[in-house]
Amino acid sequence: MKTARALYGLAAEFTTHEQLLAAARSACAQGYKSMDAYAPFPVEGLPSALGRKRSLVPLVVLIGGIIGGSSGYFMQWYANVVSYPLNIGGRPLNSWPSFIPITFELTVLGAALFAFFGSMAMNKLPQPYHPIFHAPNFERASRRTTRSSTRWRLASFSKASVRAPSRRCRCENAARTFRIARARRRRVPSRYVQSAAL
């Protein structure tokens, strides 16, 4: 006997970014918190409309830079003062001006590594599978060939709001709405494998 797949979320498709912004604000006002939007190019005001808070990437980069610079300076200080001190021309062992280049380089390296891996972690990447991949014509959400074929999508993944039938997201002006089911076998649809190979 064939059983129905568990409901993962709700999605709506729009033809203009103004409709997408209005729907995102309306859904956020109704209490939908776990939402995402897909568009062919960045839409101004969309993160705030979705209820996104300020990004933590600058703080992560700052922490990475401080850790990298501190470790670079400590490494040189330990090597020249504690581990293997040498009297070179009567200069002090803790000659900080000579430590600046390595400290600067490791500051940049630490900030870059924290920026890359921090962004990947906060965006939950890499993510080879997501239930939204099974939405009809989802790949068109990132393309913009002609104005008539442009598609804007708003998806809600809030389990609490999806389970409650009394709190339905009213997506006015939506070209169409559809439900996203959680697939049993977690695999990437073949159309994405083909597009990646191209």
Chain segment 20-60, per-residue pLDDT in tens: 888 888 888 888 888 888 888 888 888 888 888 888 999 99
In terms of average pLDDT, the best of 40-54, 70-84, 118-132, 176-190 is 70-84
Q: What amino acid is encoded at 48 in this protein?
A: S
Q: What is the pLDDT of residue 173?
A: 57
Q: What's the distance, Cα to Cα, between the start and end of the chain in Å? A: 39
Query: pLDDT, tens digit, for every residue of 128-165?
Result: 887 877 777 777 777 654 333 345 566 666 544 444 33
Vertex 183, ends 179 and 186: CA angle to 5°? 140
**The model's pTM:** 0.68
One DSSP character per residue, 64-127 reads HHHHHHHHHHHHHHIIIIIIS----TT--SS-HHHHHHHHHHHHHHHHHHHHHHHHHHHTT---
Q: What is the pLDDT of residue 19?
A: 84
Total length of the chain: 198
Q: What is the mean pLDDT of residues 68-83?
A: 95
Number of neighbouring beta carbons within 10 Å of residue 143: 12
Least confident of 53-57, 70-74, 84-88, 169-173: 169-173
Query: pLDDT, tens digit, for every residue of 111-132?
Result: 999 999 999 999 888 888 878 7
Q: Which two tokens stand for residue 95?
A: 């000659």
Q: What is the pLDDT of residue 80?
A: 92
Q: What is the mean pLDDT of residues 152-179?
A: 53
